[in-house]
């Protein structure tokens, strides 16, 4: 009996929290169908009519499909780069038990403490100097920023598996690279999933780096389009009838991906934390 009461109370509390959590999203949804004056006058009520014009206008304004494509490319390629570079390095560092390897591990891990602001301006000058202030450069930068945590995770995983399997392959005469891709990498797939998830989540939503690297060039990421849509609209300081639907369409893809892959994502987050 007591347990039943407790559970009822818990369900009520959880539901209240869930409503509070979803409220801003629901709020975003209903205001994506309203005009400026309707938003300001009655932000909490349902729209008078479900007018898709605002969403269409906003989608055009932020070049939805193009910017979505660019964000997608940047995220996927950056993550691929991170996975490749850090799985190799994590493996090598874990297996070679030398002074150099422990120095390398310390260095990679300590870099987690460097705030972006400390490297921001020189990084841009450097990449500008070598002609990489573009999407390719952006991908490389993400590759670098994603390394620390990812190498740390791979290293932790490799340490937990015995080297016997790969050593067998090596003794059989397979080269180091071949051994890695045929034997080691497939073993690492749970860590790889974690690395992919953790990095995609921040790269997809990142705003400052694309702003500094791509700026107002024609190929902008989704967050960048959102920023410029707000900044270049002259008439109203806050054109909510544009901002709400623009934010709304920009979060739809990520929510769909999340709902499809949520089991993996949740596991990725907890694995990343437990091993980290």
Residues 247-266 that bind another protein (CB under 8 A): 247, 250-251, 254-255, 258-259, 261-262, 264-266
Nearer to another protein, 51 or 212 (CB): 212
User: Contact with another protein (CB under 8 A): which of 35, 63, 109, 190?
Assistant: 190
What DSSP string runs through 101-128? HHHHHHHHHHGGGS-HHHHHHHHHHHHH
Q: How many residues bind another protein (CB under 8 A)?
A: 129
For residue 111, state whether it binds another protein (rule: CB under 8 A): yes
Q: Which residues, numbered 212-251, are part of the site for another protein (CB under 8 A)?
A: 212, 215-219, 223, 226-227, 230-238, 240, 243-244, 247, 250-251
Q: How many whole angstroms separate alpha carbon 257 and alpha carbon 254?
A: 5
Question: What distances in angstroms separate CA 180 from CA 116, 160, 225, one per listed residue?
Answer: 32, 16, 40
Residue 56 Cβ vs another protein, minimum distance, rounded to whole Å: 19
User: Contact with another protein (CB under 8 A): which of 48, 56, 159, 163?
Assistant: 163
Residue 60 Cβ vs another protein, minimum distance, rounded to whole Å: 17
User: Contact with another protein (CB under 8 A): which of 121, 165, 181, 182?
Assistant: 121
The DSSP call for residue 263 is H
Residue 53 Cβ vs another protein, minimum distance, rounded to whole Å: 19
Q: How many whole angstroms separate alpha carbon 241 and alpha carbon 147?
A: 40
For residue 165, state whether it binds another protein (rule: CB under 8 A): no
Helix (H, G, I), strand (E, B) or coil at 168: helix
Question: What distances in angstroms separate CA 236 from CA 29, 40, 53, 58, one per listed residue?
Answer: 21, 12, 19, 15
Q: How many whole angstroms separate alpha carbon 124 and alpha carbon 147?
A: 19
Q: Which residues, numbered 3-42, are part of the site for another protein (CB under 8 A)?
A: 6-7, 10-11, 13-14, 17-18, 20-22, 24-25, 27-28, 40
For residue 273, state whether it binds another protein (rule: CB under 8 A): yes
Smallest Cα–Cα separation from 77: which of 150, 154, 155, 138?
A: 138
For residue 183, state whether it binds another protein (rule: CB under 8 A): no
Q: How many CB atoms lie within 10 A of CB 272?
A: 20
């Amino acid at each position: 009996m007591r347990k039943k009461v407790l559970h009822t109370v818990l369900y009520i509390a959880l539901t209240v929290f869930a409503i509070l959590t979803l409220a801003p999203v629901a709020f975003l949804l209903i205001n994506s169908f309203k005009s400026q004056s309707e938003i300001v006058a009655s932000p909490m009520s349902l729209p008078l009519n479900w007018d898709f014009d605002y969403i269409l206008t906003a989608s055009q304004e932020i070049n939805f499909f193009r910017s979505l494509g660019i964000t997608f490319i940047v995220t996927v390629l950056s993550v691929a780069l991170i996975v490749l570079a850090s799985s190799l390095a994590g493996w090598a560092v874990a297996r070679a038990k030398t002074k150099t390897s422990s120095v390398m591990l310390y260095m990679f891990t300590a870099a987690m403490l460097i705030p972006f602001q400390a490297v921001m301006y020189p990084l841009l000058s450097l990449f500008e100097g070598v002609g990489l202030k573009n999407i390719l450069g952006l991908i490389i930068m993400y590759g670098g920023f994603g390394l620390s945590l990812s190498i740390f995770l791979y290293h932790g995983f490799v340490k937990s598996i015995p080297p016997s399997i790969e050593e067998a392959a090596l003794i059989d005469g397979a080269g180091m690279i071949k051994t890695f891709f045929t034997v080691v990498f497939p073993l690492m797939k749970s860590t790889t999933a974690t690395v992919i998830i953790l990095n995609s989540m921040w790269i997809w939503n990142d705003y400052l780096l694309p702003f500094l690297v791509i700026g107002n060039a024609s190929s902008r990421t989704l967050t960048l389009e959102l920023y410029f849509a707000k900044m270049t609209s002259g008439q109203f300081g806050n054109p909510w009838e544009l901002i709400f639907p623009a934010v709304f369409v920009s979060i739809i893809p990520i929510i769909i991906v999340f709902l499809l892959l949520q089991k993996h994502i949740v596991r990725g987050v907890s694995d990343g934390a437990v091993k980290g």
